[in-house]
Amino acid sequence: MTTRSKLTFWFVGLLLAANSIIALATLFQLRRDFTAEVQTRVRLDLNSARRVYTDAIRNRQEFLSGAALDAPLAQALRDDQPQLAAQIFRSMPLDGEFDILALLDARGVVLHRAHNPAVRGDSLRDRPLVRSALESGRPTSGTIVIGAADLSLESARLAQAATITTLQPDGSTHPTQLLRDGMFIATAIPIRLDNRVVGVLFGATLLNDHDELVDLIKDDVFQGESFEHREIGTTTLFLGDIRIATNVRTADGRRATGTRLSAEVRQRVIENGQPWADRAYVVNDWYITAYEPIRDPDNRVIGALYVGLLERAFRRSLDISTQVILITLGLTTAASLMLILFVIRRLLGPVDRIMSMCRRIISGDLTARTDSRPPGEMGLVCQAIDAMVDAVADRERQLKEYAHKTISESEKLASVGRLAAGVAHEINNPLTGVLSFAHLLREEGALGEKERHDIDIIIHETERVREIVRGLLDFARRRPMHKAPFDVNDMVRHTLKLVRSQREFDAIDIQHDSAEDPLTLNGDRSQIQQVLLNLCFNACEAMSGAGRLTIRTAIHDGGVRLEVQDTGHGIHRSDIERIFEPFFTTKAVGKGTGLGLSISYGIVQKHGGTFDVDSEPGKGSTFAITFPDRPESAATPVP
């Protein structure tokens, strides 16, 4: 295969691969965004449906609460006049709002049933809402399930209304099962007199076949949106895994009351009590759905609330976008292929010679040249390639020289570090002995004032020498760096607390200016705090204990910038280039070791940061440190 054929093969292959990857990535992201957007909407729709459902419960509680304020009713209950209380209760216009409406005494015994007056005297105290109202004296509401036996006590009509025949998803009758239990939204309102519960009003509305409620939820949430003459939104109430009220339709257009949840959704929502949000096949079509469990007052899952969006209503725009992307990429690929073939045919004549020279260069022969100047642009290409190889050869020579020089300097610095560490260790041992004996002499009671003064000088100077030795050890020692996200502003505030507690800073105005809080940095907090402390103490000495110290923190080019500004005497321009050298100091003799800024500079370099100094004699100095390594905002700072 010729070089031209190889180039053609690779260019075409890369183009097809790149366009395929772009197409797949674009379509994947498009479908992902589409799914996420629709699922977000359906979750919001579920929140709206829950609000309407909760409002229905609250409205019934408020409606029945007004009746509980009837003073004659409360008086009759307190005076133990059940017939009078029942008569007053019958005169109230309440039964139109409730399928179950009962007046109970203070023990929870039924005094009157609005829909079945002949049955009374049984106790409803075992129902959680009634028990809570009697014990707490406050209105309680929620969703409950009443069994078939208890429904027959309320009325035969109610028991019949609650009965639902279970259906298959296609609408056919289930061969064995009838649902006879009823799910209700109920409220129990305590009747109080003289700060004592004398009775309870209990009302409940049957949700089985309560199409008005699910239609109200649907109209409120979806506002009548439709697609191809079909409403895109549906809502459903479930008792267990059976639809008891829904506007989902079967194939023949009937409401799908009596059909069941899928096994996967039932496991998640009904059995595990967790929400569900995903695409699902509902009765006879695909929907983007959201389910959440409905719980009774004892926190048991008794059913579910569902909202769903017809997937086809949203798939059309996705399919159109997919087709446009594929057609565009197909046309672009075809045009690119023709252009590549044309360019290769017209412009790559001497490509074999160039490839031969490139192979020699790759093998390390920097003397290889094209030695060819064909007319036109290809001649310019060959000339440029030869010039590039000349530049590469010259750069390699310079790099070798620089590498040799750098290695020599590194070896010298390593030797100086080892020597400094050895000298520091040798000096540290006798210094400890001198300092210990000086303290012992200082404690002698027979010493005169002059002798004590001389010993204090010895102790002070010995401790100063020990600080110099410690600085040497810190400079020579390699400490492991432990990086972790932390809040720079929190570190600055903690450091300033330490600084303000020092007597040297009593007359200094310390300010902290932060553009963002929290400001997260990935680094070694203790080492960067050491740098900040060093700069603060240097600033204090530069201001002779009086002035203004300002610490600024901000985001800079995606990283973190830390500035320490003082109003001290400043640094001469000739000294700025040397302030980071070990043992160089502009302080008076005995006031510094010249190691603080060297150690700080090393810490900043280990973090990949830069150290900038701006100073003007007589006006102060600004030390600016920029750290490029800033983690994502989601990362949790280490306090």
pLDDT score recorded for residue 288: 87
What was the pLDDT predicted at 636? 46
Whether 250 and 198 share a structural domain: yes
7 is a domain residue: no
Q: Report the b/e string of 516-555 with b at 16+ CB within 10 A.
A: eeebbbbbbbebbbbbbbbbbbbbbbbbeeebebbbbbee
Specify the pLDDT at position 141. Answer: 94
| pLDDT value of residue 589 | 46
| Domain end position, chosen among 454, 478, 502 | 478
Task: Determine the Cα angle at 610 with ends 609 and 612, to 5°.
Answer: 150
| Out of 176-190, 323-337, 403-417, 457-471, least confident range | 403-417
Q: Report the distance separating Cα 544 and Cα 210, nearest Å.
A: 84
pLDDT interval class at 246 (50, 70, 90): very high
Are 307 and 290 spatial neighbours (Cβ–Cβ below 8 Å)? yes
pTM over 0.75? The answer is: no
Can you tell me the mean pLDDT for 302-306?
94
Nearest residue to 222 (alpha-carbon basis) of 230, 234, 210: 234
Helix (H) or strand (E) run with residue 607 in it: none
Residue 399 one-letter amino acid: L
Contact, 567 vs 619, CB < 8 A? yes
Q: Assess whether pLDDT exceeds 90 at residue 91.
A: no
For residue 293, is pLDDT > 90? yes
Q: Is the pLDDT of residue 500 over 70?
A: yes
Enclosing H/E stretch for 157: helix 156-162
Helix (H, G, I), strand (E, B) or coil at 618: coil
Q: Which of 293, 179, 187, 300 is nearest to 244 (CA)?
A: 179
Q: Are residues 473 and 446 in the same domain?
A: yes
Whole-angstrom distance, CA of residue 215 vs CA of residue 310: 16
Residues 501, 360, single domain; the answer is no
Residue 355's domain is classified under what CATH number?
Answer: 1.10.287.130
In 3D space, the residue among 493, 479, 478 whose CA is nearest the CA of residue 637 turns out to be: 493
Residue 105 lies in a domain: yes
Whether residues 471 and 488 fall in one domain: no
Residue 278's pLDDT band, with cuts at 50, 70 and 90, is confident
More confident residue, 288 or 515: 288
Instruction: Return all residues near 566 (Cβ < 8 A) that are at least 6 apart.
Output: 539, 540, 542, 543, 547, 548, 549, 550, 620, 621, 622
pLDDT above 50: residue 575: yes
Whether pLDDT at 569 is above 90: no
Domain-ending residue, one of 478, 498, 525: 478
pLDDT confidence band for 476 (50 / 70 / 90): low
Q: What is the pLDDT of residue 171?
A: 46
Distance, in Å, from the CA atom of 319 to the CA atom of 322, rounded to the nearest integer, reads 5
Contact 489, 520 (CB under 8 A): no
The CATH number linked to 611 is 3.30.565.10
Burial track 8-36 (b if 16+ CB lie within 10 A, e otherwise): beebbeebeeebeeebeebbeeeeeebbe
Check which CATH number belongs to the domain holding 211 and give it: 3.30.450.20
Residue 505 neighbours by CB distance under 10 Å: 21
Could you tell me if residue 41 is inside a domain?
A: no
**Does the pLDDT of residue 590 top 50, yes or no?**
no
Residue 508 lies in a domain: yes
Check residues 10 and 185 and name the one with the higher pLDDT. 185
> In this predicted structure, what is the pLDDT of residue 634?
37
Single out the residue in 478, 506, 530 at which a domain terminates: 478
What's 614's DSSP letter? E
Q: Are strands 546-556 and 507-514 parallel, antiparallel or unpaired?
A: parallel
Residues 407 and 274 both lie in one domain: no
498 shares a domain with 448 = no
Same domain, 304 and 229: yes
Q: Are 218 and 231 in contact (CB under 8 A)?
A: yes
Sign of torsion over alpha carbons 57, 62, 63, 69? positive
Residue 336 lies in a domain: no
Q: With residue 175 as reference, give the H or E element that holds it.
A: strand 173-179
The answer to whether position 19 is within a domain reads no
What pLDDT, on a 0 to 100 scale, did the predictor assign at position 51? Answer: 93
Quote the number of domains for the chain: 3
Dihedral sign, CA of 484, 488, 494, 499? positive
Distances, alpha carbon 523 to alpha carbons 151, 488, 555, 564, 628, in Å: 69, 10, 15, 19, 10
pLDDT, greater one: 183 or 607: 183
Pair 473, 424: CB distance under 8 Å: yes
296 confidence band (pLDDT: 50, 70, 90): very high
Q: With pLDDT > 90 as the criterion, what percentage of the chain qualifies?
A: 20
pLDDT tens per residue across span 345-397: 666 656 667 777 777 777 777 777 666 666 666 677 777 877 887 787 787 77
Residue 410: inside a domain: yes
**In a domain? residue 5:** no
390 plus 516 within the same structural domain: no
Q: Cα separations (Å) of 161 from 179, 207, 278?
A: 11, 10, 33
Do 305 and 401 belong to one domain? no
**Of 468-472, 513-517, 615-619, 628-632, which one has max mean pLDDT?**
615-619
Q: 541 and 470 in one domain? A: no
Same domain, 90 and 109: yes
My answer on whether 218 and 275 are in the same domain is yes
For 134-158, what is each residue's pLDDT tens digit? 999 999 999 999 998 889 888 888 8
Domain that residue 76 falls in: 54-313
Element at 203 (helix H, strand E): strand 196-206
